[in-house]
Amino acid sequence: MTGTIRIGIGGWTYEDWRGPFYPDGLTQKRELEYAARQMTAIEVNGTYYGSMKPASYIKWFEETPQDFVFTLKGSRYTTNRRVLSEAGESIEKFITSGITELNHKLGPINWQFMATKKFDPVDFEGFLKLLPKRHDGIDLTHAVEVRHDSFRCAEFVQMARHYGVAVITAADSDFPQIADVTASFVYLRLMGTREGEAKGYSEAELDAWATRLKTYAAGKVPDDLDAVERTTDGRARDVYAFVISGHKVLNPAAAMALIDRVKG
């Protein structure tokens, strides 16, 4: 048994994708509809900067296939505060802003922290306790993207596992890599696409990433990723992988190449 692997990009509105990714003549208002039929998930970055209206989530739901999934960035007003354990009101504002209009297409919420945010065990556990597991009859899942090396410790990994929150794996960036499995799903962000490769990565690199995603889906931790602990219960897990940053114009090509390999 293996979990479902979902692969996508960050957002869908990017001018330089018009031509290399979006067909000539496709109107901007149909770009989500098109992207959602090439990918199996999309990470929405705009929710990090400000609230969307419920009508936006309804529109996204209507324009995408039934098995499509959106992951959302949690508000920066929540994660960029000095005392995280006092973020309850900010978390509630985000959760009640209309995100559950996505219904079954709502995937994990990515709570991204600045690279200067250090691990404070008491304060961070206070934050994790505030994350709701359900709203409006919809189950909620959470992931944390931590970018300071102080988080690379057993105490943090075990804390995330206790609360069932995924630690996002920074796949190929300058940020610390924490490849541990701590939740019922795995969340990766691939940031290494580069100019000069038609698909952003070499064929060998794409093969390697596809193998890693399949390994996670089968309930294991890839041997060639850097984990604090390699503890896993062996259960199949859903996997979310997004090609983000890097040489952005090639990110859709990389994501589609990975989707083909995972299907194969």
Domain of residue 102: give its range.
Answer: 5-263
Q: What pLDDT does residue 200 have?
A: 98
Assess whether pLDDT exceeds 90 at residue 160.
yes
Q: What is the domain-level CATH number for residue 133?
A: 3.20.20.410
Confidence of residue 2 (pLDDT cuts 50, 70, 90): confident
Average pLDDT, the chain: 97
What is the rounded average pLDDT of the residues 108-135? 98
Q: How far is CA 10 from the centre of its chain?
A: 9
Confidence of residue 79 (pLDDT cuts 50, 70, 90): very high
What is the rounded average pLDDT of the residues 151-172? 97
What is the rounded average pLDDT of the residues 245-253? 97
Q: What pLDDT does residue 264 have?
A: 65
Assess whether pLDDT exceeds 80 at residue 97.
yes
Assess whether pLDDT exceeds 90 at residue 1.
no
Q: What pLDDT does residue 80 have?
A: 97
Q: What is the pLDDT of residues 11-61, one digit of tens each?
A: 999 999 999 999 999 999 999 999 999 999 999 999 999 989 999 999 999
Total of domains in the chain: 1
- pTM here? 0.97
Q: What pLDDT does residue 24 have?
A: 95
Confidence of residue 231 (pLDDT cuts 50, 70, 90): confident
Q: What is the pLDDT of residues 175-196, one digit of tens each?
A: 999 999 999 999 999 999 999 9
Q: What pLDDT does residue 150 have?
A: 98
